[in-house]
Amino acid sequence: VRSTQDYRALDVAHHVHPFTDQKALAGKGVRIITRAEGAYVWDSDGNKILDGMAGLWCVNVGYGRKELVDAATQQLQTLPYYNSFFQTSTPSQIELGKVLAEVTPPGLKHFFYTNSGSEANDTVIRLARHYWRVKGKPTKRTFIARNLGYHGSTLAAVSLGGMSHMHALDGQLLPEFAHIAHPHYYTQGAGLSLEEYGLKAARLLEEKILELGADNVAAFIGEPVQGAGGVYEPPPGYWAEIQRICRKYDVLVVADEVICGFGRTGQWFGSQTYGIDPDLMPMAKGLSSGYLPIAGVAIHDRIWKEINEGGALAHGYTYSGHPASCAVAIANIQLMRSEGLVERVREEIAPYFRKCLQELAASHPIVGEIRGVGLIAAIQLVKDKQSREIFTTQDDAANFCRDVAANNGLIMRAVYQSMVLSPPLIITKAQVDELTEKARKALDETAKKFGL
Protein backbone atom coordinates (compact mmCIF):
# COMPACT_ATOMS: atom_id res chain seq x y z
CA VAL A 1 0.00 0.00 0.00
CA ARG A 2 1.33 3.41 -0.97
CA SER A 3 0.37 6.96 -0.06
CA THR A 4 -2.15 8.71 -2.28
CA GLN A 5 0.62 11.03 -3.41
CA ASP A 6 2.87 8.14 -4.45
CA TYR A 7 0.04 6.45 -6.34
CA ARG A 8 -0.70 9.68 -8.18
CA ALA A 9 2.94 10.22 -9.12
CA LEU A 10 3.24 6.67 -10.47
CA ASP A 11 -0.05 7.03 -12.31
CA VAL A 12 1.18 10.18 -14.04
CA ALA A 13 4.45 8.45 -14.91
CA HIS A 14 3.03 5.26 -16.41
CA HIS A 15 -0.71 5.02 -16.81
CA VAL A 16 -2.38 6.16 -20.06
CA HIS A 17 -6.08 6.60 -19.32
CA PRO A 18 -8.95 5.99 -21.75
CA PHE A 19 -11.03 9.05 -22.66
CA THR A 20 -9.11 11.35 -20.30
CA ASP A 21 -7.27 14.61 -20.91
CA GLN A 22 -4.37 13.81 -18.63
CA LYS A 23 -2.84 17.29 -19.05
CA ALA A 24 -5.92 18.70 -17.40
CA LEU A 25 -5.17 16.59 -14.32
CA ALA A 26 -1.73 18.11 -13.85
CA GLY A 27 -1.14 19.09 -10.24
CA LYS A 28 -4.42 17.50 -9.21
CA GLY A 29 -4.06 13.85 -10.13
CA VAL A 30 -6.58 11.07 -10.30
CA ARG A 31 -8.74 9.73 -7.50
CA ILE A 32 -7.43 6.35 -6.34
CA ILE A 33 -10.31 3.93 -5.78
CA THR A 34 -9.25 1.29 -3.29
CA ARG A 35 -12.30 -0.75 -2.28
CA ALA A 36 -16.03 -1.09 -2.70
CA GLU A 37 -19.10 -2.58 -1.05
CA GLY A 38 -22.73 -2.59 -2.12
CA ALA A 39 -23.41 0.69 -3.94
CA TYR A 40 -20.35 2.52 -2.57
CA VAL A 41 -16.69 2.88 -3.44
CA TRP A 42 -13.95 4.27 -1.21
CA ASP A 43 -10.91 6.28 -2.27
CA SER A 44 -7.41 6.19 -0.85
CA ASP A 45 -8.17 9.22 1.34
CA GLY A 46 -11.00 7.30 2.98
CA ASN A 47 -13.86 9.12 1.24
CA LYS A 48 -17.03 7.03 0.83
CA ILE A 49 -18.65 7.72 -2.53
CA LEU A 50 -22.06 6.57 -3.79
CA ASP A 51 -21.44 4.99 -7.20
CA GLY A 52 -24.15 6.47 -9.39
CA MET A 53 -22.57 4.82 -12.45
CA ALA A 54 -22.19 1.20 -11.23
CA GLY A 55 -18.54 1.39 -12.25
CA LEU A 56 -18.92 1.96 -15.98
CA TRP A 57 -22.60 0.93 -16.30
CA CYS A 58 -21.71 -2.60 -15.32
CA VAL A 59 -21.71 -3.52 -11.63
CA ASN A 60 -25.40 -4.42 -11.72
CA VAL A 61 -25.45 -6.66 -8.63
CA GLY A 62 -23.34 -4.20 -6.63
CA TYR A 63 -19.90 -4.68 -5.12
CA GLY A 64 -18.69 -7.34 -2.71
CA ARG A 65 -20.92 -10.23 -3.81
CA LYS A 66 -19.37 -13.35 -2.38
CA GLU A 67 -21.23 -15.66 -4.78
CA LEU A 68 -19.37 -14.20 -7.76
CA VAL A 69 -16.00 -14.23 -6.03
CA ASP A 70 -16.49 -17.86 -4.96
CA ALA A 71 -17.48 -18.89 -8.49
CA ALA A 72 -14.30 -17.33 -9.89
CA THR A 73 -12.08 -18.81 -7.18
CA GLN A 74 -13.48 -22.29 -7.58
CA GLN A 75 -13.12 -22.19 -11.35
CA LEU A 76 -9.57 -20.82 -11.19
CA GLN A 77 -8.59 -23.61 -8.82
CA THR A 78 -10.18 -26.37 -10.93
CA LEU A 79 -9.44 -25.20 -14.45
CA PRO A 80 -8.05 -21.67 -14.78
CA TYR A 81 -8.04 -21.72 -18.55
CA TYR A 82 -8.89 -23.74 -21.56
CA ASN A 83 -9.80 -22.64 -25.07
CA SER A 84 -12.78 -23.48 -27.20
CA PHE A 85 -10.86 -23.69 -30.51
CA PHE A 86 -9.67 -27.32 -30.36
CA GLN A 87 -13.05 -29.06 -30.66
CA THR A 88 -13.22 -28.53 -26.89
CA SER A 89 -15.51 -26.86 -24.37
CA THR A 90 -15.44 -26.42 -20.60
CA PRO A 91 -18.39 -27.03 -18.27
CA SER A 92 -18.75 -23.33 -17.40
CA GLN A 93 -18.83 -22.34 -21.10
CA ILE A 94 -21.55 -24.90 -21.71
CA GLU A 95 -23.54 -24.06 -18.59
CA LEU A 96 -23.49 -20.32 -19.37
CA GLY A 97 -25.18 -20.96 -22.71
CA LYS A 98 -27.99 -22.85 -21.01
CA VAL A 99 -28.50 -20.16 -18.35
CA LEU A 100 -28.32 -17.30 -20.86
CA ALA A 101 -30.84 -18.98 -23.18
CA GLU A 102 -33.29 -18.94 -20.28
CA VAL A 103 -33.21 -15.14 -20.02
CA THR A 104 -32.65 -13.92 -23.59
CA PRO A 105 -35.66 -13.02 -25.79
CA PRO A 106 -37.21 -15.86 -27.84
CA GLY A 107 -35.01 -17.35 -30.59
CA LEU A 108 -31.74 -15.78 -29.39
CA LYS A 109 -30.21 -19.06 -28.29
CA HIS A 110 -26.73 -19.31 -29.83
CA PHE A 111 -23.85 -17.47 -28.16
CA PHE A 112 -20.40 -16.45 -29.32
CA TYR A 113 -18.22 -15.22 -26.44
CA THR A 114 -15.78 -12.31 -26.47
CA ASN A 115 -13.96 -10.28 -23.82
CA SER A 116 -15.50 -6.88 -24.42
CA GLY A 117 -18.48 -5.14 -25.94
CA SER A 118 -16.19 -3.74 -28.64
CA GLU A 119 -15.17 -7.24 -29.68
CA ALA A 120 -18.79 -8.32 -29.52
CA ASN A 121 -19.63 -5.62 -32.07
CA ASP A 122 -16.68 -6.55 -34.29
CA THR A 123 -18.09 -10.06 -34.14
CA VAL A 124 -21.54 -8.78 -35.10
CA ILE A 125 -20.08 -7.07 -38.18
CA ARG A 126 -18.26 -10.21 -39.29
CA LEU A 127 -21.22 -12.50 -38.58
CA ALA A 128 -23.71 -10.31 -40.46
CA ARG A 129 -21.50 -10.05 -43.55
CA HIS A 130 -20.78 -13.77 -43.40
CA TYR A 131 -24.53 -14.48 -43.15
CA TRP A 132 -25.32 -12.45 -46.26
CA ARG A 133 -22.48 -14.05 -48.20
CA VAL A 134 -23.75 -17.53 -47.35
CA LYS A 135 -27.27 -16.35 -48.34
CA GLY A 136 -25.90 -15.42 -51.75
CA LYS A 137 -26.11 -11.65 -51.17
CA PRO A 138 -22.43 -10.70 -50.75
CA THR A 139 -23.01 -7.03 -51.52
CA LYS A 140 -25.02 -6.54 -48.32
CA ARG A 141 -22.13 -5.23 -46.19
CA THR A 142 -22.86 -1.72 -44.97
CA PHE A 143 -23.96 -1.10 -41.39
CA ILE A 144 -26.26 1.79 -40.58
CA ALA A 145 -25.96 3.14 -37.03
CA ARG A 146 -26.86 6.40 -35.30
CA ASN A 147 -25.12 9.62 -34.38
CA LEU A 148 -23.99 9.52 -30.76
CA GLY A 149 -24.33 5.74 -30.79
CA TYR A 150 -21.51 4.05 -28.89
CA HIS A 151 -20.46 0.57 -29.90
CA GLY A 152 -16.86 0.40 -28.66
CA SER A 153 -13.29 1.41 -29.34
CA THR A 154 -11.82 -1.13 -31.77
CA LEU A 155 -11.32 0.24 -35.29
CA ALA A 156 -14.54 -1.31 -36.57
CA ALA A 157 -16.58 -0.49 -33.45
CA VAL A 158 -15.48 3.16 -33.63
CA SER A 159 -16.63 3.36 -37.25
CA LEU A 160 -19.89 1.74 -36.26
CA GLY A 161 -20.37 4.27 -33.48
CA GLY A 162 -21.55 7.80 -34.13
CA MET A 163 -19.12 9.78 -31.98
CA SER A 164 -17.47 12.40 -34.14
CA HIS A 165 -14.64 13.10 -31.67
CA MET A 166 -13.76 9.40 -31.79
CA HIS A 167 -13.77 9.39 -35.60
CA ALA A 168 -11.47 12.40 -35.50
CA LEU A 169 -8.80 10.51 -33.55
CA ASP A 170 -7.82 8.42 -36.56
CA GLY A 171 -9.03 10.87 -39.15
CA GLN A 172 -11.77 8.95 -40.89
CA LEU A 173 -14.22 6.07 -40.70
CA LEU A 174 -13.66 2.67 -42.21
CA PRO A 175 -15.72 2.20 -45.38
CA GLU A 176 -19.21 0.67 -45.34
CA PHE A 177 -20.50 2.40 -42.21
CA ALA A 178 -23.26 5.00 -42.37
CA HIS A 179 -25.15 7.00 -39.75
CA ILE A 180 -28.52 8.59 -39.22
CA ALA A 181 -29.57 11.15 -36.59
CA HIS A 182 -30.39 9.83 -33.12
CA PRO A 183 -33.86 10.54 -31.78
CA HIS A 184 -34.19 13.34 -29.24
CA TYR A 185 -37.68 14.77 -28.88
CA TYR A 186 -36.62 17.60 -26.54
CA THR A 187 -34.41 19.21 -29.19
CA GLN A 188 -35.93 17.91 -32.43
CA GLY A 189 -39.62 17.30 -31.76
CA ALA A 190 -41.06 20.85 -31.85
CA GLY A 191 -44.63 20.89 -33.21
CA LEU A 192 -44.97 17.10 -33.25
CA SER A 193 -46.59 14.67 -30.84
CA LEU A 194 -44.18 12.11 -29.35
CA GLU A 195 -45.69 9.42 -31.61
CA GLU A 196 -45.39 11.55 -34.76
CA TYR A 197 -41.82 12.32 -33.86
CA GLY A 198 -41.05 8.63 -33.22
CA LEU A 199 -42.15 7.74 -36.75
CA LYS A 200 -40.33 10.68 -38.29
CA ALA A 201 -37.07 9.80 -36.54
CA ALA A 202 -37.31 6.13 -37.54
CA ARG A 203 -38.00 6.95 -41.18
CA LEU A 204 -34.53 8.45 -41.50
CA LEU A 205 -33.46 4.83 -41.67
CA GLU A 206 -35.63 4.18 -44.71
CA GLU A 207 -34.17 7.24 -46.44
CA LYS A 208 -30.65 6.03 -45.72
CA ILE A 209 -31.37 2.50 -46.96
CA LEU A 210 -32.81 3.91 -50.19
CA GLU A 211 -29.82 6.24 -50.59
CA LEU A 212 -27.32 3.37 -50.14
CA GLY A 213 -29.42 0.77 -51.96
CA ALA A 214 -30.94 -2.07 -49.93
CA ASP A 215 -28.68 -4.55 -51.76
CA ASN A 216 -25.71 -2.94 -50.03
CA VAL A 217 -27.08 -2.78 -46.49
CA ALA A 218 -26.29 -5.61 -44.07
CA ALA A 219 -27.80 -4.36 -40.83
CA PHE A 220 -29.07 -1.55 -38.68
CA ILE A 221 -27.58 -1.34 -35.19
CA GLY A 222 -28.84 0.66 -32.24
CA GLU A 223 -28.73 0.58 -28.48
CA PRO A 224 -32.32 0.10 -27.23
CA VAL A 225 -31.63 3.24 -25.15
CA GLN A 226 -28.58 5.13 -26.36
CA GLY A 227 -26.23 5.11 -23.38
CA ALA A 228 -22.76 6.60 -23.59
CA GLY A 229 -23.89 9.26 -26.07
CA GLY A 230 -26.04 10.80 -23.34
CA VAL A 231 -28.97 8.43 -22.54
CA TYR A 232 -31.57 8.94 -25.26
CA GLU A 233 -34.61 6.71 -24.86
CA PRO A 234 -36.52 5.96 -28.06
CA PRO A 235 -39.79 7.83 -28.59
CA PRO A 236 -42.97 5.70 -28.72
CA GLY A 237 -43.26 3.70 -31.94
CA TYR A 238 -39.65 4.31 -32.93
CA TRP A 239 -38.33 0.75 -32.62
CA ALA A 240 -41.47 -0.81 -34.13
CA GLU A 241 -41.02 1.38 -37.19
CA ILE A 242 -37.26 0.67 -37.35
CA GLN A 243 -38.05 -3.01 -37.29
CA ARG A 244 -40.75 -2.74 -39.96
CA ILE A 245 -38.32 -0.91 -42.24
CA CYS A 246 -35.55 -3.46 -41.65
CA ARG A 247 -37.82 -6.38 -42.48
CA LYS A 248 -39.16 -4.60 -45.57
CA TYR A 249 -35.66 -4.12 -47.01
CA ASP A 250 -34.13 -7.37 -45.76
CA VAL A 251 -31.79 -5.62 -43.33
CA LEU A 252 -30.74 -7.36 -40.11
CA VAL A 253 -31.73 -5.81 -36.78
CA VAL A 254 -28.96 -5.57 -34.19
CA ALA A 255 -29.80 -4.43 -30.65
CA ASP A 256 -26.63 -3.46 -28.82
CA GLU A 257 -27.52 -4.53 -25.27
CA VAL A 258 -24.11 -3.84 -23.75
CA ILE A 259 -25.61 -1.28 -21.34
CA CYS A 260 -29.32 -2.11 -21.49
CA GLY A 261 -28.91 -5.84 -20.92
CA PHE A 262 -29.23 -7.56 -17.54
CA GLY A 263 -31.96 -5.55 -15.94
CA ARG A 264 -30.95 -1.96 -16.52
CA THR A 265 -34.26 -0.99 -18.23
CA GLY A 266 -36.49 -3.09 -15.96
CA GLN A 267 -36.48 -6.20 -18.17
CA TRP A 268 -33.65 -8.64 -18.74
CA PHE A 269 -32.95 -6.88 -22.04
CA GLY A 270 -33.86 -3.49 -23.45
CA SER A 271 -35.21 -5.36 -26.47
CA GLN A 272 -38.00 -6.65 -24.24
CA THR A 273 -38.75 -3.16 -22.92
CA TYR A 274 -39.18 -1.84 -26.47
CA GLY A 275 -40.52 -4.90 -28.31
CA ILE A 276 -37.38 -5.31 -30.44
CA ASP A 277 -36.87 -8.70 -32.11
CA PRO A 278 -33.13 -8.64 -32.91
CA ASP A 279 -31.30 -10.99 -35.26
CA LEU A 280 -28.03 -10.34 -33.42
CA MET A 281 -27.70 -9.08 -29.87
CA PRO A 282 -24.30 -8.06 -28.47
CA MET A 283 -24.06 -8.01 -24.67
CA ALA A 284 -21.30 -7.34 -22.09
CA LYS A 285 -21.01 -5.37 -18.83
CA GLY A 286 -23.96 -6.64 -16.73
CA LEU A 287 -23.37 -10.19 -18.02
CA SER A 288 -20.76 -10.58 -15.25
CA SER A 289 -21.58 -7.36 -13.38
CA GLY A 290 -18.02 -6.39 -14.32
CA TYR A 291 -16.40 -8.83 -11.86
CA LEU A 292 -14.44 -10.41 -14.74
CA PRO A 293 -14.38 -9.39 -18.40
CA ILE A 294 -16.80 -11.27 -20.59
CA ALA A 295 -19.11 -10.31 -23.44
CA GLY A 296 -20.80 -12.06 -26.29
CA VAL A 297 -23.23 -12.05 -29.18
CA ALA A 298 -26.58 -13.82 -29.14
CA ILE A 299 -27.54 -15.14 -32.57
CA HIS A 300 -31.18 -15.74 -33.50
CA ASP A 301 -32.35 -19.16 -34.73
CA ARG A 302 -33.56 -17.57 -37.97
CA ILE A 303 -30.05 -16.57 -39.05
CA TRP A 304 -28.10 -19.28 -37.24
CA LYS A 305 -28.82 -21.90 -39.89
CA GLU A 306 -26.95 -20.00 -42.61
CA ILE A 307 -24.13 -18.98 -40.28
CA ASN A 308 -23.70 -22.59 -39.21
CA GLU A 309 -23.84 -23.90 -42.75
CA GLY A 310 -21.18 -21.44 -43.87
CA GLY A 311 -18.35 -23.58 -42.45
CA ALA A 312 -15.87 -22.80 -39.68
CA LEU A 313 -16.06 -19.22 -38.46
CA ALA A 314 -12.59 -17.80 -39.03
CA HIS A 315 -12.98 -15.68 -35.92
CA GLY A 316 -12.28 -15.94 -32.19
CA TYR A 317 -10.27 -14.80 -29.21
CA THR A 318 -7.87 -16.62 -26.90
CA TYR A 319 -10.22 -15.75 -24.07
CA SER A 320 -13.52 -16.41 -25.88
CA GLY A 321 -15.57 -17.89 -23.05
CA HIS A 322 -12.83 -17.71 -20.42
CA PRO A 323 -13.85 -20.41 -17.92
CA ALA A 324 -13.60 -18.14 -14.87
CA SER A 325 -15.54 -15.34 -16.57
CA CYS A 326 -18.22 -17.83 -17.61
CA ALA A 327 -18.45 -19.11 -14.03
CA VAL A 328 -18.86 -15.55 -12.75
CA ALA A 329 -21.51 -14.80 -15.37
CA ILE A 330 -23.50 -17.87 -14.34
CA ALA A 331 -23.29 -16.89 -10.66
CA ASN A 332 -24.28 -13.34 -11.57
CA ILE A 333 -27.39 -14.40 -13.50
CA GLN A 334 -28.36 -16.83 -10.75
CA LEU A 335 -27.98 -14.09 -8.15
CA MET A 336 -30.07 -11.69 -10.20
CA ARG A 337 -32.76 -14.32 -10.46
CA SER A 338 -32.74 -15.45 -6.83
CA GLU A 339 -32.96 -11.83 -5.64
CA GLY A 340 -35.54 -10.89 -8.30
CA LEU A 341 -33.38 -7.91 -9.25
CA VAL A 342 -34.99 -7.31 -12.65
CA GLU A 343 -38.49 -7.23 -11.18
CA ARG A 344 -37.21 -5.05 -8.35
CA VAL A 345 -35.92 -2.50 -10.86
CA ARG A 346 -39.17 -2.51 -12.82
CA GLU A 347 -41.67 -2.49 -10.00
CA GLU A 348 -39.97 -0.87 -7.07
CA ILE A 349 -36.78 1.05 -7.38
CA ALA A 350 -36.89 2.54 -10.89
CA PRO A 351 -40.30 4.19 -10.38
CA TYR A 352 -38.94 5.76 -7.18
CA PHE A 353 -35.65 6.78 -8.83
CA ARG A 354 -37.50 8.43 -11.70
CA LYS A 355 -39.96 10.20 -9.41
CA CYS A 356 -37.07 11.68 -7.39
CA LEU A 357 -35.26 12.84 -10.53
CA GLN A 358 -38.44 14.34 -12.02
CA GLU A 359 -39.03 16.30 -8.82
CA LEU A 360 -35.45 17.49 -8.93
CA ALA A 361 -35.89 18.60 -12.55
CA ALA A 362 -39.14 20.43 -11.86
CA SER A 363 -37.60 22.48 -9.07
CA HIS A 364 -34.21 23.19 -10.58
CA PRO A 365 -33.36 26.16 -12.81
CA ILE A 366 -30.63 24.41 -14.84
CA VAL A 367 -32.33 21.05 -15.44
CA GLY A 368 -34.08 20.95 -18.80
CA GLU A 369 -35.27 17.36 -18.87
CA ILE A 370 -34.70 13.93 -17.34
CA ARG A 371 -34.15 11.21 -19.93
CA GLY A 372 -34.02 7.45 -19.69
CA VAL A 373 -35.93 4.47 -18.40
CA GLY A 374 -35.46 2.02 -15.52
CA LEU A 375 -32.18 2.71 -13.74
CA ILE A 376 -30.49 4.66 -16.51
CA ALA A 377 -30.93 8.41 -16.63
CA ALA A 378 -29.53 11.68 -17.89
CA ILE A 379 -30.07 15.08 -16.34
CA GLN A 380 -29.90 17.62 -19.17
CA LEU A 381 -28.21 20.86 -18.11
CA VAL A 382 -29.66 24.01 -19.67
CA LYS A 383 -28.88 27.72 -19.46
CA ASP A 384 -32.52 28.56 -20.03
CA LYS A 385 -35.42 26.23 -19.29
CA GLN A 386 -37.87 28.21 -21.44
CA SER A 387 -35.83 28.38 -24.63
CA ARG A 388 -34.18 24.99 -23.94
CA GLU A 389 -30.76 26.51 -24.56
CA ILE A 390 -28.18 23.91 -23.62
CA PHE A 391 -24.81 24.79 -22.06
CA THR A 392 -21.95 24.81 -24.55
CA THR A 393 -18.76 22.79 -24.46
CA GLN A 394 -16.92 26.00 -23.59
CA ASP A 395 -19.15 26.51 -20.55
CA ASP A 396 -18.26 23.00 -19.46
CA ALA A 397 -21.01 23.01 -16.86
CA ALA A 398 -21.22 19.21 -16.81
CA ASN A 399 -17.58 18.56 -15.90
CA PHE A 400 -17.83 21.20 -13.18
CA CYS A 401 -20.99 19.55 -11.82
CA ARG A 402 -19.34 16.12 -11.98
CA ASP A 403 -16.35 17.27 -9.93
CA VAL A 404 -18.49 18.98 -7.30
CA ALA A 405 -20.60 15.83 -6.97
CA ALA A 406 -17.60 13.51 -6.69
CA ASN A 407 -16.02 15.72 -4.02
CA ASN A 408 -19.32 15.59 -2.17
CA GLY A 409 -19.61 11.78 -2.36
CA LEU A 410 -21.52 10.97 -5.57
CA ILE A 411 -20.20 9.65 -8.88
CA MET A 412 -22.12 10.95 -11.88
CA ARG A 413 -20.74 10.93 -15.42
CA ALA A 414 -20.58 14.09 -17.50
CA VAL A 415 -21.60 13.36 -21.10
CA TYR A 416 -21.64 16.42 -23.31
CA GLN A 417 -23.81 18.74 -21.16
CA SER A 418 -25.76 16.05 -19.35
CA MET A 419 -25.18 14.30 -16.04
CA VAL A 420 -25.57 10.58 -16.52
CA LEU A 421 -26.63 8.05 -13.89
CA SER A 422 -26.70 4.26 -13.99
CA PRO A 423 -26.55 3.02 -10.39
CA PRO A 424 -26.25 -0.62 -9.29
CA LEU A 425 -29.60 -2.42 -9.45
CA ILE A 426 -29.38 -3.11 -5.69
CA ILE A 427 -29.56 0.60 -4.81
CA THR A 428 -32.01 1.18 -1.94
CA LYS A 429 -34.62 3.94 -1.63
CA ALA A 430 -32.53 5.60 1.08
CA GLN A 431 -29.55 5.56 -1.30
CA VAL A 432 -31.71 7.02 -4.07
CA ASP A 433 -32.58 9.84 -1.62
CA GLU A 434 -28.89 10.33 -0.92
CA LEU A 435 -28.13 10.34 -4.64
CA THR A 436 -30.86 12.91 -5.36
CA GLU A 437 -29.73 15.20 -2.54
CA LYS A 438 -26.10 15.06 -3.60
CA ALA A 439 -27.04 15.64 -7.23
CA ARG A 440 -29.15 18.62 -6.17
CA LYS A 441 -26.24 20.16 -4.26
CA ALA A 442 -23.92 19.72 -7.25
CA LEU A 443 -26.54 21.27 -9.55
CA ASP A 444 -27.03 24.17 -7.09
CA GLU A 445 -23.32 24.92 -7.13
CA THR A 446 -23.25 24.68 -10.91
CA ALA A 447 -26.19 27.09 -11.19
CA LYS A 448 -24.42 29.48 -8.81
CA LYS A 449 -21.21 29.35 -10.83
CA PHE A 450 -23.15 30.36 -13.95
CA GLY A 451 -25.20 33.01 -12.12
CA LEU A 452 -28.51 31.14 -12.61
Give the interface with ligand PLP as residue ranges (CB under 6 A): 116-118, 121, 150-152, 223, 227-228, 256, 258-259, 284, 295
d(CA 62, CA 68): 11
CB of 214 to ligand PLP, least distance (A): 26
**Residue whose CB is less far from ligand PLP, 100 or 356:** 100
CB of 161 to ligand PLP, least distance (A): 8
CB of 255 to ligand PLP, least distance (A): 10
**Residue whose CB is less far from ligand PLP, 284 or 373:** 284
**Residue whose CB is less far from ligand PLP, 226 or 446:** 226
**Residue whose CB is less far from ligand PLP, 122 or 206:** 122
**Strands 410-411 and 389-390, bridge-based pairing:** unpaired
Nearest alpha carbon to residue 256 among 266, 245, 264, 244: 264
Backbone angles phi, psi at 418, to 5 degrees: -125, 155
Q: Distance from CA of residue 424 to its chain's centroid?
A: 13
d(CA 161, CA 221): 9
**Residue whose CB is less far from ligand PLP, 97 or 224:** 224
CB of 422 to ligand PLP, least distance (A): 10
**Residue whose CB is less far from ligand PLP, 227 or 237:** 227
CB of 147 to ligand PLP, least distance (A): 14
3 state SS of 35: strand
Backbone angles phi, psi at 352, to 5 degrees: -70, -45
**Residue whose CB is less far from ligand PLP, 157 or 419:** 157
**Residue whose CB is less far from ligand PLP, 121 or 436:** 121
Q: Distance from CA of residue 268 to its chain's centroid?
A: 14
Packed helices 117-134 and 301-309: angle between N→C axes, nearest 10 degrees: 70
CB of 424 to ligand PLP, least distance (A): 16
**Residue whose CB is less far from ligand PLP, 226 or 436:** 226
Q: How far is CA 449 from CA 370, 385, 389, 412, in A?
A: 22, 17, 17, 18
CB of 150 to ligand PLP, least distance (A): 5
Q: How many helices (H) and strands (E) does the chain have?
A: 17, 16
DSSP 8-state secondary structure symbol assigned to residue 16? P
d(CA 289, CA 55): 9
**Which residue of the chain is nearest ligand PLP when measured via CB?**
117
Q: What b/e string do you get for 392-423 counting C-beta neighbours within 10 Å, with b at 16 or more?
A: eeebebbebbbebbbebebbbbbbbbbbbbbb
Q: Please check whether residue 164 is in contact with residue 241, taking contact to mean a CB–CB distance below 8 angstroms.
A: no
**Ranges of H-type helices in 31-85:** 54-57, 66-78
CB of 297 to ligand PLP, least distance (A): 11
CB of 151 to ligand PLP, least distance (A): 5
